[in-house]
Homo-oligomer: A and B are copies of this chain.
Amino acid sequence: MRSAKTINLPRPAGGDKREAILRAAISVFAHNGYFNSKVADIAREAGVADGTVYLYFKSKEEILHSIFDRSVDEAVGEARKKLELLTDPRDKLRQIASLHLERLGADRDLAVVFQVELRGSTKFMEEFSAAGFAEYLALIRSVFEEGQRAGVFRQDLNAKVVAKILFGALDEMATNWILSKRRYKLAPMADQVLDIFLNGVTE
């Protein structure tokens, strides 16, 4: 239990600094790329001294990991909650796709970090893969299997492969959106993907 002080006062910056650094890092990484970003850049952007970064994160790499972890946790959490309100597996997949693209579409910098910076090394990718990403794929897969049991989706499909296909399609939408010079809304792409996908996997 925190002391009353921590509750009453406008908080001595504790979490604020960490948050500021994380936000700054997303911006800096998105604009310069992870390897070209200097810790000093992040510190300046966050309005703290270089050394302060190390009071909250063990290393530059840990900052990247923290960005990923926090975002995935939030995303999966939100998804699970909203899925409880739905029953039709098709609606659930639509929901997942919408949340996926809405979230990335709402924060271009974060999207760049997710779609590009996080992909640049097998090391990151493997951890990324092992961590939240696997959980995300499993979520899609379980919804699909639920649909198969309900007779809504084709029985002859491998649920694991199907999950990857849906993820891959959505992921490509996000990556293309980031790299595109034209400015358009990302979220609506979910419908087009789902249209084809559901048509393809439905009996």
Contacts and interface: CB of A to CB of B under 8 A. Distances in A.
A121 B33 contact: yes
Nearest to A162: B196
Nearest to A176: B164
B165 A169 contact: yes
A120 B117 contact: yes
Contacts of A161: 173, 189, 192-193
A165 B193 contact: yes
A200 B129 CA distance: 28
A162 B170 CA distance: 12
Interface string A99-132: 0000000000000100011011111011001000
Interface of A: 30, 33-36, 112, 116-117, 119-123, 125-126, 129, 157-158, 161-162, 164-165, 167-173, 175-176, 178-179, 189, 192-193, 195-201
A3 B170 CA distance: 41
Contacts of A195: 157, 200
Interface of A is mostly: helix
Contacts of A112: 122
A201 B196 contact: yes
A176 B173 CA distance: 18
